[in-house]
Structures are given as C-alpha cells and as structure tokens.
C-alpha cells in the first residue's frame, strides 16, 4: 500500500503524526521551517496528496497566492482542507484577511459568479463537501467575586448565539481538478 503524502501548513504547536509539519519557527515536531508569506514554497510541483491549513490563511498577507501555491504542490485529485475563523470572530491585529462562507468562491473560480459568456469556466478546485460553518453553541462562564461570594455569569448564551447567528469557523474541503 502506498503511503499518502500529507502536508500540514502552518502547524503551530499542533503536530500531526504521518504529516510533514510546516511552521515559520522551529519547535518540537516541526519538519520544515518556512514563512508562508514567502513564495514559492520549498516543495515540488504536484507532490502532495493532501494539504491542511487549520487557522492559518487569515494570518497571511496574500491568500490568493497561498491558494495558488497549494494548487501547484498538490497532485491531480489532491485534497485541500482550509479552516478559518468566521469574519467577525476573533478579530485581532494578527489577522490580515477575514472570511465568510462566500470568500473562497473567487479562489476556486477566477470568474466567481460564472456569468462571463463565451468563455469556458475556469476552476482550480471543486468542493468535495459543502462549505461547513460551525456555529458557537457553548456556555462560557465567567465569575466575579463580591463580598467574598462567587457569582457565575453566562457571557455567551447558546440561544442568543442561535438567534443572532454567531459563527465560530468555516471549513472548505476542496479537490484539485
């Protein structure tokens, strides 16, 4: 049986066994040290069967170029899984891009809305699963002390999250055409 070649781009401290783990700094378990804002990536064309980018794309300056590099290093039929936080969640100074469920449409197909007539649709990837938006349905308890007693406060109510549509993350599962 042939071993699949898997690439974990921007792994941070989440080291996956059986994967090539890439991070911008050398830590325990990192196989390749590379800044993902520097192009081209140090990998052969069409080499990897699977690429995972878990909470990485929002930290990079040029997401279009990152997707193009993933396309270059994936083999035909290779899988690309991208997970990003929803655009209004965890907005920090370290996030350069913000995503919603429609953000990747322009990456997958350069013509986005597919309305250009007389021209064949050009796509880089096809979706293997529908876009998955994870909603935030958890209780977060914060506590305050007042006159020696502890009071629990619910800072995020799941019913309010459902009502207001608070979303946690977005997941794309793509396949190279």
Q: Are strands 167-176 and 74-85 parallel, antiparallel or unpaired?
A: antiparallel
Between residues 64 and 37, the one the model is more confident about: 37
Percent of the chain at pLDDT above 90? Answer: 38
Question: Which pLDDT score, from 0 to 100, does residue 91 have?
Answer: 57
Q: How many C-beta atoms surround the C-beta of residue 106 within 10 A? A: 14
Residue-wise pLDDT for 50-64, tens only, equals 999 999 998 899 998
Domains in the chain, ordered, with CATH? 6-135+168-176 (3.40.50.150)
Q: How far apart are CA 72 and CA 70, in angstroms?
A: 5
- The DSSP code for 159 is H
pTM of the model: 0.74
pLDDT category at 80 given cuts 50, 70, 90 is: very high
Residue-wise pLDDT for 156-170, tens only, equals 445 555 555 556 788
Between residues 171 and 129, the one the model is more confident about: 171
Name all contacts of 108-113 with Cβ < 8 Å and 24+ positions apart.
108/174
Q: How far apart are CA 119 and CA 70, in angstroms?
A: 25
Question: Which pLDDT score, from 0 to 100, does residue 168 have?
Answer: 78
- Quick check: 97 pLDDT over 50? yes
SS3 content of the chain, % helix, strand, coil (to 5): 15, 40, 50
Question: Which pLDDT score, from 0 to 100, does residue 46 have?
Answer: 95
């Amino acid at each position: 049986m042939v071993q699949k070649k898997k690439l974990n781009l921007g792994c941070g401290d989440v080291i996956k066994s059986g994967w090539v783990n890439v991070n911008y700094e050398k830590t325990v378990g990192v196989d390749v040290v590379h800044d993902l804002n520097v192009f081209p990536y140090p990998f052969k064309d069409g080499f990897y069967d699977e690429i995972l980018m878990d909470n990485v794309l929002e930290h990079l300056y040029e997401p279009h170029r990152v997707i193009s590099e993933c396309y270059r290093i994936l083999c035909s039929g290779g899988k690309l899984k991208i997970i990003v936080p929803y655009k209004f969640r965890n907005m920090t100074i370290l996030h350069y891009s913000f995503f919603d469920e429609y953000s990747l449409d322009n990456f997958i197909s350069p013509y986005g809305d597919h309305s250009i007539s007389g021209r064949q649709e050009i796509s880089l990837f096809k979706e293997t699963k529908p876009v998955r938006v994870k909603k935030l349905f958890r209780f977060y308890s914060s506590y305050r002390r007042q006159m020696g007693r502890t009071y629990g406060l619910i800072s995020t109510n799941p019913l309010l999250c459902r009502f207001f549509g608070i979303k946690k993350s977005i997941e794309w599962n793509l396949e190279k055409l």
